[in-house]
Amino acid sequence: MEKIIALLSGGIDSSTLVYYLAQNYEVWALTIFYGQKHAKELIAASDIARLVCKKHEIINLSEIQPLLKSALTTESLEIPKGYYSDESMKITVVPCRNLLFLTCAAAWAMSNSISKIAFAAHFGDHPIYPDCRLSFVQKTEEILREYESNIQILVPFINLTKREIINIGTKLGVPWEKTWSCYKGSEKACGKCGTCRERLEAFELNNLKDLIQYEAY
């Protein structure tokens, strides 16, 4: 089976992605710890990878932290409550995050003569995260071609909403209770940050109950 490297955070989208890819590929999952407060997602990533991926590397790049200013990594910046569409959510953008992740994935791919990498950018990401847009994906493929490689970046969910992703994941048997989304990394999900709200809404729209525990919502 052809190998593919997939970025896996442990959230809904990337967990569904590895299940989706595992139908046709040998999936090598890559998880990057970049100093995010919600390091709990790393455990979720491990749990998911164990089920459908051939390999899983968790790479600790958290010492990059002094270079990044974002509510997701900087202790003094609070994670905003609200919706992704809110202006206040911009503080959760991690500068160059997906470029960093895809660069790592590409390096791993080149070191192993793998020619496909994938990540779970989806429709809801586009307004706020520039590195989840198709133009970003295309330009990243171009820069990778400079390395005389021929790496293709697959983004099968780029035009899907979270509701549609949950629909696909449910059919594929993704164990949602093992995934983690909340930007705060507390024992229970906060239910109030952008990613919690988006998750809850998407489950509701699918008439499903989200089985992870929430502080409040």
For its own copies, the binding residues (CB under 8 A) are: 30, 57, 59-61, 63-64, 66-70, 94-96, 99-100, 103-104, 106-108, 110-112, 130-131, 133, 135-136, 139-140, 142-144, 146-148
Comparing CB distances to its own copies, the nearer of 109 and 182 is 109
In a 13 Å sphere around the CA of 2, the CA atoms on its Cβ side amount to 10
Q: How far is the CB of 108 from its own copies (least distance, A)?
A: 4
Terminal-residue alpha carbon distance, the chain? 43
Nearer CB in complex with its own copies: 64/200: 64
Q: Find the DSSP H helices in 5-133.
A: 12-21, 40-52, 97-111
Residue whose CB is less far from its own copies, 66 or 216: 66
User: In the bound complex, what is the minimum distance in angstroms from residue 165's beta carbon to its own copies?
Assistant: 23
Compute and round to an integer the Cα radius of gyration of the chain.
Answer: 16
Smaller CB separation from its own copies, 95 or 173 = 95
Nearer to its own copies, 131 or 210 (CB): 131
Q: At its nearest, how many Å lie between its own copies and the CB of residue 10? A: 18
At closest approach, how far in Å is the CB of 109 from its own copies? 8
* Closest-CA residue to 101 (of 9, 197, 207): 9
Nearest residue to 93 (alpha-carbon basis) of 74, 106, 75, 76: 74
Residues 6+ apart with CB under 8 A from 93: 70, 128, 129, 130
Q: How far apart are CA 144 and CA 134, in angstroms?
A: 15
Contact predicate 70/37, CB 8 Å: no
Nearest residue (CB) to its own copies, 99 versus 205: 99
Q: How far is the CB of 86 from its own copies (least distance, A)?
A: 17
CA dihedral (173, 85, 197, 96) positive or negative:
positive
In whole angstroms, the minimum distance from the beta carbon of 152 to its own copies comes to: 16
Cβ distance 178 to 49 under 8 Å?
A: no
